[in-house]
Structure 1
Amino acid sequence: MTTIAKAKYFPQRLPENQGNPLIEAIPPRLSPEQLIDAVARLPDFKSAQRDWTDYERELLIKRLERCVIPLSVYQDIYATIYTTLIAGYQDRNPMGSTTQHWLYGVTQNVQINSKTTADSLLITGLSGAGKSTLINSILSCFPQIIEHEKYDGECFLQKQVVYLKIDIPPDASRKALCLSFFSAIDDALKADYYHQFSNTRKSIDQLETTIHQICASHCVGMLIIDEFQNLNVAKAGGEEVILQFFDSITNNAKVPIIKVGTPAALRLFSAKFRSGRRAGSAGFYELSQLKRDEQDWKTLVRAVWKYQWVKNPRKLDGQLENTLYELSQGIPFCLFKLMQLANLEAISSGTETISASALRKVYKQHFGLLRHALSSLRKGNPKQYEDLMPVSVWLEGGHSSLPLGHLINLAKSEDFRGEAAKEIKGHVEDAIAEFDLSASQRRHLQRMKKSFEAKEAEGKGSEFLGIES
């Protein structure tokens, strides 16, 4: 649902933000306490509801599906998104002549030289970890549309699109991505771009240019690309073509992009090792599997356990908490599903209590294929499930197209000289600095770096045999 607000301008202390209506109209940043109040969605629960009819309680249990309990990562991601949004508007002040010149160039598809570019942010995590819930909750802290009428005593008619969220359909091509954008902007502005361009004979490059023009003319503050892993690399023309598509938005339209998806999205950044910087120049966040001893898990499980609509509720003890973790493996979706099903089972069976055995019963009866995936997590071997593989597995050799594995295999198979050796040496330096390496991997990469340094100077090829990956 689109939220629309009339522009109300807030004074800015930073000189680069002053006199910019697009920035001044953004609501002030929330404090940590205000953010929790804004995003938390807790079921309306009263102990008296336990005496209601079975039918009424079954409906009440459905409220768990809409429950949002903000964890610590919410604070960090909200702060980064807020800063990225404001920074993205700093070089697009509609009151400035430079912006008018740039805007003319974008709308007329004329290249305007500019040294500024917008940031990008990558948010990834296991399937069921709550990525979409998190991003939707944070976006709810902003109006999607701000309507301007007058600024500083002068007429200023402008509909400012603060954010645009695009859900990528499965197996999406580059054209499908463009059409998803048009559909999203139609929903926000009640426009008709999708109908206008869905059957057009325009090339994909022309559609991309149209996206730049729409972003510029409607003052789009940031793009959120959800389910990023759904992009089909082959259909989209290859990894580099996809990356250039998003680069053109941040470079030409100056719109920050927030990419959200499972770690499988990292495959898009494997061909060119340094493209990891293009994935998230403003930051990278992983919503990983919650660990049994971390505070976020304890906060979540204790909060969820309160919602027992059974006549004989139990206190949370060590056995129950261990059972909940063993069955859910620290995945929020699985924890909420367990509690929902356990409540229903206790009511329908007449036991009216949630026990460890009841939790195991509903797990065996209702979790189906999820049980195989959770079993893989339990054993520490989730590689057969792309959407359950943590980023560390992707980056350390858990998939054939990983940057690190790709780099080492490339070094084994290719004969690099001169400038090529210098380029690969830079990739190796990035790997040493950025990856959580084993001692063996680190030693091999250090040897690779020294060899490439020598070959860079000599201009001779280099072979690497027996390098472990």
Structure 2
Amino acid sequence: MTTIAKAEYLSQRLEENQGNPLIEAIPGRLSPNRLIDAVARLPDFNPAQRDWHDHERELITKRLERCVIPLSVYQDVYATMYTTLIAGYQDRNPLRPATEQWLYGVTQNVQINSKTTADSILITGLSGAGKSTLINSILSCFPQVIEHESYNDEPYIQKQVVYLKIEIPPDAVRKALCLSFFSALDEALETNYYVQYSNSRKGISELETAIHQICASHCVGMIIIDEFQNLNVAKAGGDEVILQFFDSITNNAKIPIIKVGTPAALRLFSAKFRSGRRAGSAGFYELGQLKNDEQDWKTLVRAVWTFQWVKNPKRLDQKLENTLYELSQGIPFCLFKLMQLANLEAISSGVESISASTLRGVYKQHFGLLRHALSALRKGNPRQYEDLLPVSVWLEGGSSSVPIGHLINLAKTEEFRGEAAKMVKNHVDDAIAEAGLSASQKRQLFKIKENLETKLAEGKGAEFLGGEAE
């Protein structure tokens, strides 16, 4: 649902922000405590509800599916998004002649020389770690559209789109991505760009130009690309073409982009992210597996345990906390699901309390295929589940042997074909070029590269093995 606000201008202390209606209309930055209040979504819970009828209590457990408990990363991401949004508007002051010249160049598809470009943010994490919840919660702190009527007693009519969130459809190619832009704009502004361009015979380059023009005209502040993993890179023309698509938005339209997706998707682009600049120049955040000794896990599990709608609630002890971690592996979605199902089981069975055996029982009965992935995490061997591999395996350089070890083990144990073999070779090239490697690691990586090149030259993606680990 689009949130619309009338422009209320806040005075700015920074000289570069002064006299810019697009910046002055952005609500003030929230303090840490106010941010928590703004994004937290706790179930409406009262101990008296434990005496309600069974069917009412069973239904009320659904509230856990909409629960948001902000973790420490929320503060960091909000601060970076806020700063990036403001910085993105600094060189787009609509009242300055230079901005008018730049906007004319964009609308006429004429290149105007400019030294400025917008930043980008990369947010990734395991499936179920709460990436979309994080983004949606933070975006709720901003109005999506700000309506301007006058500024400094002069008419200024403008609908400013503070953010545009695009969810990439499954198996998307570039045209589908372009149409998703138009659809998101239509939803925010009640326009008909989607109909206009979906029925046209315009080529991809013309659609991309239209995106630059329309986004610049509507003063789009930042673009969030969610479900990045749905891009079909091969059908879209390859990773370089996709990167150029996003680069053109940050360079030509000067709009910051926030890319959100799983590590399995983002690693496809890692060969082009060598310095990290194209991945997330303003920030990189990974929502990983929470550890059972970190404060975020303790905050989460203690809050969730409060929501027991059973008649005989138990106090959270170390055994129960250990069981919750063992079964959920620190994945927030799994923790919430486990507690919801445990409530349901305890109510429907008449046991009316949640024990370690209750938790194990619902885990075994209802978690289905999730159990295999969680078991892989538990054993520290999630290689067959790409969405569970930390993105640092693909993006980190430096002397850490963990990412290199993952890459070597992956190359030694998995079968790659076609484009997959080519992508792994790109990862190997990056590792050889950037990482501080031991002599043993170098030998293994060069051996893997040699085998890959042989297979690619033969036009085969046959199984290959790296050298033995030393």
Task: Quickly name the TM-score band, shorter chain normalised.
Answer: 0.7 to 0.9
Asked if the contact 1:271/1:403 (under 8 Å) is kept, the reply is no
Matched, 1:307 2:311: no
Asked if the contact 1:124/1:285 (under 8 Å) is kept, the reply is yes
Matched, 1:361 2:380: no
CA distance in 2, matches of 1:291, 1:281: 27
Residue equivalent to 2:400 = none
Equivalent pairs, count: 432
TM-score by length of 1: 0.88
- Give the drift of 1:407: 5.3
Asked if the contact 1:41/1:66 (under 8 Å) is kept, the reply is yes
User: What does residue range 13-92 of structure 1 map to in structure 2 within 5 Å?
Assistant: 13-92=13-92
Asked if the contact 1:168/1:230 (under 8 Å) is kept, the reply is yes
CA distance in 2, matches of 1:306, 1:25: 40
- Give the drift of 1:444: 8.9
Unaligned runs of 5+ in 2: 396-402, 446-465
Q: Deviations along 1:384-432, whole A, 9 cap, x unmatched?
A: 111111123345214776999635744xxxxxxxxxxxxx8xx866434
User: What does residue range 140-159 of structure 1 map to in structure 2 within 5 Å?
Assistant: 140-159=140-159
Residue equivalent to 2:425 = 406
CA change 1:402–1:90 in 2 (3 A) is farther
CA distance in 2, matches of 1:51, 1:119: 53
Of 19-28 and 393-402, the range deviating more from structure 2: 393-402
Residue equivalent to 1:330 = 330
The amino acid of 1:160's aligned partner reads: Q
CA distance in 2, matches of 1:147, 1:438: 59
Asked if the contact 1:273/1:403 (under 8 Å) is kept, the reply is no
Matched, 1:112 2:116: no
Of 261-270 and 352-361, the range deviating more from structure 2: 261-270
Q: Secondary structure at the match of 1:42?
A: coil
Equivalent pairs: percent with the same residue?
Answer: 80
Residue equivalent to 1:293 = 293
Q: Secondary structure at the match of 1:274?
A: coil
CA distance in 2, matches of 1:346, 1:428: 55
CA distance in 1, matches of 2:427, 2:77: 33
Asked if the contact 1:148/1:156 (under 8 Å) is kept, the reply is yes
CA distance in 2, matches of 1:402, 1:137: 38
CA distance in 1, matches of 2:83, 2:124: 19
Asked if the contact 2:22/2:160 (under 8 Å) is kept, the reply is yes
CA distance in 2, matches of 1:138, 1:336: 20
Unaligned runs of 5+ in 1: 411-423, 446-464
CA change 1:4–1:273 in 2 (3 A) is closer
Residue equivalent to 2:450 = none
- Give the drift of 1:266: 2.2
Residue equivalent to 1:225 = 225
CA distance in 2, matches of 1:161, 1:442: 50
Q: What is the aligned-residue RMSD (CA, Å)?
A: 2.3
- Give the drift of 1:239: 0.6
Q: Deviations along 1:323-363, whole A, 9 cap, x unmatched?
A: 10010000000000000000000000000000100101100
Q: Secondary structure at the match of 2:291?
A: coil
CA distance in 1, matches of 2:443, 2:8: 58
The amino acid of 1:264's aligned partner reads: A
CA distance in 2, matches of 1:206, 1:284: 31
Residue equivalent to 1:374 = 374
Of 134-143 and 270-279, the range deviating more from structure 2: 270-279
CA change 1:138–1:440 in 2 (3 A) is farther
TM-score by length of 2: 0.88
Residue equivalent to 1:178 = 178
CA distance in 2, matches of 1:163, 1:392: 28
Q: Secondary structure at the match of 1:270?
A: helix
CA distance in 2, matches of 1:265, 1:95: 40
The amino acid of 2:179's aligned partner reads: L
CA change 1:135–1:116 in 2 (3 A) is same
CA distance in 1, matches of 2:362, 2:216: 52
CA distance in 2, matches of 1:247, 1:467: 40
CA distance in 1, matches of 2:434, 2:95: 41
The amino acid of 2:302's aligned partner reads: R
Of 306-315 and 53-62, the range deviating more from structure 2: 53-62
CA change 1:273–1:259 in 2 (3 A) is closer
CA distance in 2, matches of 1:444, 1:273: 23
CA distance in 2, matches of 1:63, 1:97: 52
CA distance in 1, matches of 2:439, 2:4: 54
Asked if the contact 2:39/2:70 (under 8 Å) is kept, the reply is yes
Matched, 1:316 2:316: yes
- Give the drift of 1:443: 10
- Give the drift of 1:203: 0.2
Q: Secondary structure at the match of 2:241?
A: helix
The amino acid of 1:179's aligned partner reads: L
CA distance in 2, matches of 1:162, 1:116: 20
Asked if the contact 1:269/1:276 (under 8 Å) is kept, the reply is no
Q: Secondary structure at the match of 1:325?
A: helix
CA distance in 2, matches of 1:275, 1:75: 25
CA distance in 1, matches of 2:219, 2:97: 16
Q: Secondary structure at the match of 2:309?
A: coil
CA distance in 1, matches of 2:210, 2:151: 28
CA change 1:444–1:24 in 2 (3 A) is farther
Q: Deviations along 1:99-127, whole A, 9 cap, x unmatched?
A: 00000000111111111100000000000
User: What does residue range 163-202 of structure 1 map to in structure 2 within 5 Å?
Assistant: 163-202=163-202
CA distance in 1, matches of 2:298, 2:427: 40
Asked if the contact 2:271/2:427 (under 8 Å) is kept, the reply is no
Residue equivalent to 1:418 = none
Residue equivalent to 1:393 = 393
- Give the drift of 1:440: 5.2
CA change 1:383–1:408 in 2 (3 A) is closer
The amino acid of 2:180's aligned partner reads: S
CA distance in 2, matches of 1:291, 1:444: 32
Asked if the contact 2:41/2:69 (under 8 Å) is kept, the reply is yes
Q: Secondary structure at the match of 1:211?
A: helix
